[in-house]
Structure 1
Amino acid sequence: MSARRAELSRRGFLTGSLLVAAGSVVTTACTTDPTGSGSGSGAKTTLNVWFHAYGEAGAQDAALRYAKDFTKANPDIAVKVSWVPGDYTAKLNATLLTSGAPDVFEIGDFSEGMARRGQTAALDDIYGSAEEDFNKAARAYVTVDGKKYGVKMVDDVMMLYYRKSVLAKAGVAPPATFDALRAAAKKLTTAKNKGLYLGNDGLGDAPLMAVWSTGGNLVADGKVGYAAPAAVEAVAALKQLHDDKSLLIGFTTDWWDPSAFAQGVVPIQWSGLWAMPAIKEALGDDFGVIPWPAFKAGGTPAVRVGGWTSCVNAKGKHVAAAKRFVQWLWVEQTTLQKDFAESYGFHVSPRTSVAATAGKLSQGAAKDTVGLAARYGRSNPSTWDTATATPLAAAANKIVRGEGDPARLLADAARQSQTAVDKQRS
């Protein structure tokens, strides 16, 4: 999920909600109180549940409401909801090594390494009869050595938005190949506006999409694949967008926020389904969605399917209560799951039964996006953590700046990523 408002980025700060002191993280938090006394004394256990700072209006209130409803149903368990802005992943990884680690936490890209290190608890026992209602990809996504170490909360789809009227006026068709995307971005660039926004660094998810657009893999069967010849050619081609000076770089918000597109600063932007309500409010029906185009013949279009997964701290003091919270909210409460998926930005529920009732996603561009995800969706592999991903990002940055041979840079990066993958799987 991402920020809706211009003043918030996906990992942006909420005023007054985060202080970092002596390496510790202090967040705004609310603890449910079954007694109504304000002391929480009626509960035998208090869970610390972490959420990253969703930018969509109402998301924080929803998380607090869900926690209160849980405590009403389970009065022995109070819930402290911690809303964590900033670099959530870095703060979570650091806090998991301390006594202040949360009992329940969400992660944006499921980590096989966390399961193998014993940081996340196996949750097979909480799925029950609902297991088959989670789509196959959602179940496979959290499975390590035959056990499930999380419950997928929402699927987030990332794709290209384009402004229908602007492209039509310029005589530009929605691009279906990388060459067409480059040509469109170049033609749509004017003295006042750039043609394409991928992110403030000029790349965003583009290196991943470039690899996938060749039909290749970031990691498959434990082997890093982004240094394959076709992938090298596709990643190297991103430099052409920079050379053409058709990319918006350094906007006030990053790619996960729709402001650049909604405000007419660019006619094509990479962003997510979560941003669609804000875009529709600003532009009406004057927009469409397309996948990242196939690089060339033999490749394939791609959209990125990410999302958030609820996990239990295996080393926490309240594992059983934490499992109960995750089970209650993300397995049993389908009404709340539907609310979370549709009411605070748009997201796709991993539950087949819940997704089938998603009226807001059954028409227009939202329906088109769901269809793109079904046809072209690709997800980061479970080994794609910071250590694995950083070498590709660093190499791609050097490539687009013309600071080395792409094949050599990506080969070196792939060796670093392979070391990180091997370490996770050892």
Structure 2
Amino acid sequence: MTRRFQPRDILSLLLLCLSSCNSLSFGNSSPPSRPGIVRVWAHAGQAAERQVLERQVQRFNAARTGTTVELTFIPEGSYNSQVQAAALSKDLPDVLEFDGPFVYNYVWQQNLVPMDKLISASVKQDLLPSILQQGTYRGRLYSVATFDSGLGLYGRRSQLQAAGIRIPQGNQDAWTVAEFDRALAALAARDPDKQVLDLKLNLRGEWATYGFLPIIQSAGGKANGSLNSPSAVTAMQSVQNWLKQGYVDPNIDDAAFTSGRVPLSWVGHWVYKDYAKAVGKDLVVLPLPNFGQGSKTAQGSWNWGITTNCSTPTCQKSAMSFLEFLLQPQEVLAMANVNGAVPGTKQAIARSQLYAPTGALRLFAAQLLAGETVPRPQTPAYPVITSAFQEAFANIRNGLPVKTALDKAATAIEIDRQDNQNYREVGRGDRGEGNPVRFVC
């Protein structure tokens, strides 16, 4: 509830609020968890992911006495809205899965409890630094994850070499943006339609923020502070120039790279299996270009948190035991092996065929382990920031002057910040970010 509402949003929330008022007693807190039962919500992602999680729940329930996990899958497309509805009606589960950057908004809404004193030191130490960074807000740990993500460039080695293009080995020798511009021109000169780069323009929503906000960060900008700085404008002008030069395949069929139409694809870890099948040993994985302040890349994926509905020490202990079960190396790999994501623990990475030092996707793991990734903005305002940046990217793609597009996004973010009084902690002093202004029935 931190983004700037559209009229349809306000109407939906008012109807939801009226519905909730008819079913709740005023002043009641969330209904207590049933003894021994841990209610868990997860997103209904790929079928293989659902099957793995279902088997993990079965293994946990069989191995534990006195605790039973009840798993419910929620459609991914409406996941956040259903969480918000459950929060309003005080019917959150005990354990909640959510996309990583939403943790700060959920904490601000008082929907999550800190787990610093619940998680064991050994499990916490094994987590990737990126997962700890993403799950920490105002010095407290609120979420953990069994996997993380990787973002980079996939290329066809033979075509890059034929065009005389240097192949970077890692973030330290990533192409500068000027080198990347020359590489695109060299590849285009050898291509009949000059379309040589796939930016996954067929994807919508969160992809724009995940895939392209690292450009702003590589240029030295920040999404919640200098989104429209001169360096950020210059960086995004490079992207607009790629589009204007005709270097970018629109990828309507999602086959620009696998069909061989383009030799470069800007995308994440999840395409590796399809790309490796299509390209074979000619496939190379590369870091994103350096836009001035070093090559930056994205991080973050689906996380787990314990909700305020799980309010008793017994419930919280049981919930944490389930999450620690999921973080065992064999369980981490069970999920990572089907979704292709970067395993969320150091032990699991060491055992992974894809991400161990000799693995084909070692670059992604190395970036996460070395702190060369940047989390999406760590603020309750994230839903507004991502929406504003998505709109800005669409405007830039459609030819609007970059500064105009980024100014518009920065203004929307600033208005939201003012509307929410900088997300201060109401009733506990203004410490910058905190509790929300809530709808009252």
Which residue of the partner structure matches residue 132 of structure 2?
139
What TM-score comes out, normalization by structure 1 length?
0.76
1:59 is the counterpart of 2:49: yes
Cα distance change of structure 1 residues 238 and 143 upon mapping to structure 2, 3 Å threshold: same
Which residue of the partner structure matches residue 363 of structure 2?
368
CA apart distance, 1:342: 3.5
Q: Is the 8 A contact 1:103 1:319 kept in 2?
A: no
1:177 is the counterpart of 2:176: yes
- Give the whole-Å Cα distance in 1 for the aligned partners of 2:100 and 2:282: 32
State the AA in 2 paired with 1:367.
Answer: R
- Give the whole-Å Cα distance in 2 for the aligned partners of 1:136 and 1:364: 20
Q: Is the 8 A contact 2:38 2:69 kept in 1?
A: yes
For residue 195 of structure 2, give the secondary structure of its aligned residue in structure 1: coil
Which residue of the partner structure matches residue 34 of structure 1?
none
Which residue of the partner structure matches residue 103 of structure 1?
94
Q: Is the 8 A contact 1:52 1:84 kept in 2?
A: yes
1:414 is the counterpart of 2:406: no
- Give the whole-Å Cα distance in 2 for the aligned partners of 1:382 and 1:154: 19
For residue 149 of structure 2, give the secondary structure of its aligned residue in structure 1: strand
1:398 is the counterpart of 2:402: no
- Give the whole-Å Cα distance in 2 for the aligned partners of 1:186 and 1:87: 41
- Give the whole-Å Cα distance in 2 for the aligned partners of 1:235 and 1:326: 42
- Give the whole-Å Cα distance in 1 for the aligned partners of 2:95 and 2:192: 50
Which residue of the partner structure matches residue 114 of structure 2?
122
Q: Is the 8 A contact 1:45 1:318 kept in 2?
A: no
For residue 285 of structure 1, give the secondary structure of its aligned residue in structure 2: helix
- Give the whole-Å Cα distance in 2 for the aligned partners of 1:115 and 1:183: 45
Find 1:327's aligned residue among 312, 321, 331: 321
Find 2:157's aligned residue among 159, 164, 168: 164
Cα distance change of structure 1 residues 261 and 327 upon mapping to structure 2, 3 Å threshold: farther
What TM-score comes out, normalization by structure 2 length?
0.74
- Give the whole-Å Cα distance in 2 for the aligned partners of 1:180 and 1:226: 24
CA apart distance, 1:232: 1.4
RMSD across aligned positions (CA): 3.1
Could you tell me which runs of 5 or more consecutive residues in structure 1 were left unpaired when the two chains were aligned.
1-21, 24-42, 254-258
State the AA in 2 paired with 1:402.
Answer: G
Higher helix residue share: 2
Structure with the bigger RCO (C-alpha within 8 Å, sep 6+) is: 2
Which residue of the partner structure matches residue 356 of structure 1?
350
Residue correspondences, number: 373
Pairing of 1:145-294 with structure 2 (within 5 A)? 145-174=138-167, 176-189=175-188, 190-191=191-192, 194-200=195-201, 204=208, 205=210, 207-219=212-224, 224-253=225-254, 259-294=255-290
State the AA in 2 paired with 1:329.
Answer: L
State the AA in 1 paired with 2:387.
Answer: T
For residue 52 of structure 1, give the secondary structure of its aligned residue in structure 2: strand
Pairing of 1:1-20 with structure 2 (within 5 A)? none
For residue 270 of structure 1, give the secondary structure of its aligned residue in structure 2: strand
Deviations 1:78-115 (A, max 9, x none): 41231524353444444443455433222222331211
Q: Is the 8 A contact 1:162 1:267 kept in 2?
A: yes
CA apart distance, 1:313: 2.2
CA apart distance, 1:46: 4.6
- Give the whole-Å Cα distance in 2 for the aligned partners of 1:53 and 1:423: 31
